[in-house]
Amino acid sequence: MTKPWSNLRLKDRIGRDVRVLFVGINPGVRSAITGHHFAGYSNRFWKLLYDAKLTPGLMTYKDDVHLPEWKLGITNLIARPSPGIGDLRPVEYVEAWKLLERKIRRHQPEVVALVGVTLFRAILPLLAEAPQPGKVIGLQPVRICGAHLFVLPNPSGRNANFSYSEMLNAFVELRNFVEGPASRGTHRSDRESTTDVRPTGR
């Protein structure tokens, strides 16, 4: 039986000159119903943004429309909402990755920040040249369509693999990278000519 929220879709919040594009795996049920990203009761995404000084003020999921004001953007790999990622089908990852790649090409963010290790591991088989095993959280040694790839812990309250302090450290590391000279020196023209990782199309 089809649930009333199953056909709901979230709007991307991506403005011009986006520096960091946050990518979730797919919307949860409450996010679908409210129409806002990371709306789960226990989700700490918005608090982490503020505590890491990625935003000048404390936001809630209702404020996601304002992210472009700080050159931040947000989208999901898979648009279909579900109670959990166990409901997603393998083919959905493949088709969704093609769409995400087009978004990255169109908006040209400096950094693509994957929100969740599970999401990172899910896309690895879709990359033509996956990075060698190593540091999972933080900056990865590959680029996607010219954008740096950064992996963050899943901020869900159900994520027992990371403490809040560990999550915050990752978000602070992201802020430091974006504000650092390595990122500032990466102009769009440079990124367009960079050899990077591309989807395999599998």
pLDDT single digits (tens) 126-185: 776 666 666 789 999 888 999 999 999 999 877 778 999 999 999 999 999 999 875 545
DSSP symbol at 133: S
Evaluate if residue 13 carries a pLDDT over 50.
yes
In tens, the pLDDT along 96-120 reads 999 999 999 999 999 999 999 988 8
Number of domains, the chain: 1
Q: Residue 96 domain-assigned?
A: yes
Asked if residue 81 is part of any domain, the answer here is yes
Specify if 92 maps to a domain: yes
Helix boundaries (H) for the chain = 29-34, 45-51, 90-107, 117-123, 164-179, 181-184, 188-192
How crowded is the C-beta side of 45, counted as CA atoms within 13 Å? Answer: 25
Rounded Cα distance, 17 and 10, in Å? 21
SS3 string, 1-32, reads: CCCCCCCCCCCCECCCCCCEEEEECCCCHHHH
Question: Is residue 151 a part of any domain in this protein?
Answer: yes
Mean pLDDT in residue range 83-104: 86
Within a domain: 199: no
**Distance, CA of 5 to chain centre:** 22
Please indicate, yes or no, if residue 201 is contained in any of the structural domains. Answer: no
- Number of Cβ within 10 Å of residue 14's Cβ equals 18
What global pTM score does this model have? Answer: 0.86
CATH number of domain containing 61: 3.40.470.10
Question: By percentage, how much of the chain surpasses pLDDT 70?
Answer: 86
